[in-house]
Amino acid sequence: MSHGNISIFIPHLGCPNACSFCDQRTISSTAHAPSPYEAEDVIRGAFERITNPSDRADTEIAFFGGSFTAIDRDYMTALLGRASKYLKTPEKDGFRGIRISTRPDCIDEEILMLLKKYGVTAIELGAQSMSDKVLEMNNRGHSSVDVIHASEMIKAHGFELGLQMMVGLYQSTVYDEYRTMAEFIKIAPKTARIYPVCVLEGTRLAELFKSGEYILYPFEKAVNICGVIYCGLTSAGINVIRMGLHAEDGVEKRAIAGFYHPAFADIVRSDIVKNVILKYYMSEMSDEDRNMTIEIEAPPKLLGAVYGHKKSNRLFFESAGIKIKASVNTSLLPNEISINKDVQNVFKIT
Ligand code: SF4
């Protein structure tokens, strides 16, 4: 089994903040905060299901929901106390650790010591943007400096750091998006998540969108920006563990606009591959090469991205008179494709 998470969603009911994209106020009557007993039931169930010691050691208990360190302190420690019983110790095969996500301004020395005591190993910060203008316009209530300070503290205490960003927030420009990427690279987290914005009913973004004050990028542009950020982060050694919101977040039903798509990450990867092939074609081939076939070899997991989401790349190149033929080559690295079986033409999809 590959690395996995036991995910438990902890809504921040009664959160005093009002981030432009968040609908916690409108869903707070229906959102369910699991009791520590319920959370333990989920963890115990996974513990009994995953019996192989190495699979357990490759699994984390993940408390998601945005502001784990800002929820009621007794509730938080009760959740952690239940979870920590299932962690690996010298005497017992257990799960690798506990992963939490929180706001940058809800991190300090005291909370980090507490998290360490309960076996938390990874902390993800919802940075969202590294532009103070964008943070302010979206009512985040923290600054980019808070992100930098919290990140430094988390790393100094030996936690694995993750950073999350949103693409397409109100008043964010393409420059702001790429600047956020560049700042992330400077901070050097272990992991990152890229969330293209979804405009949910009942939020400030929804009001701004309906009034015409908030104009979203076209979908293709959001895909392209996410692709550039994905490549920038991964080539700097940061593991991008998510692009696009999870379907189980229920966003599909609540979204009135934005970039939700269940296969968003596939679409971005297809776009990256398309641009690599296009660049090769433009630099290596001439008009006489039209009507020819470009042979692409890829590792199994990238084969779909060569043809593109719903064959979009194949159709794109066919419209330019170029045929794409893809086949599997297991000797390539997971992020490599080779063009026309030439070792000189092996490209990294990062
Ligand atoms: S996203 Fe903002 S408003 Fe929503 S729960 Fe988190 S801190 Fe509160």
Average pLDDT, the chain: 91
| Tokens 């076996």, residue located | 119
- Ranges of CATH 3.40.1260.20 domains, the chain: 269-348
Architecture of domain 269-348: 3-Layer(aba) Sandwich (3.40)
Alpha-carbon distance 87 to 95, whole Å? 5
Q: What is the pLDDT of residue 299?
A: 92
Q: Which atom of ligand 1 is nearest to the CA of 103?
A: 7
Q: What is the pLDDT of residue 249?
A: 60
Q: What is the pLDDT of residue 200?
A: 92
Residue range 233-259: average pLDDT? Answer: 86
Q: What is the pTM of this model?
A: 0.92
- Ranges of CATH 3.20.20.70 domains, the chain: 4-262
pLDDT tens for 74-119 read: 999 999 999 999 999 988 899 999 999 999 999 999 999 999 999 9
- For residue 248, pLDDT beyond 70: no
Q: In which order are the strands placed within the sheet that holds 336-339?
A: 323-328, 293-298, 336-339, 346-348
Q: What is the pLDDT of residue 1?
A: 42
Tokens for 219, please give them: 């979908």
> CATH topology for 4-262?
TIM Barrel (3.20.20)
The beta strands (E) that lie in the chain are given as: 4-9, 59-64, 97-102, 120-128, 160-167, 191-196, 198-200, 239-243, 255-258, 293-298, 323-328, 336-339, 346-348
CA 179 to chain centre: 17
- DSSP run (H or E) holding 24: helix 24-27
Q: From ligand 1's centre to the CA of 102, what distance in Å?
A: 9
- For residue 215, pLDDT beyond 60: yes
pLDDT tens for 310-323 read: 999 999 988 888 88
- For residue 29, pLDDT beyond 60: no
Q: From ligand 1's centre to the CA of 18, what distance in Å?
A: 6
Pocket test for ligand 1, best of 12, 106, 165, 197 (most atoms within 8 A of CB): 12
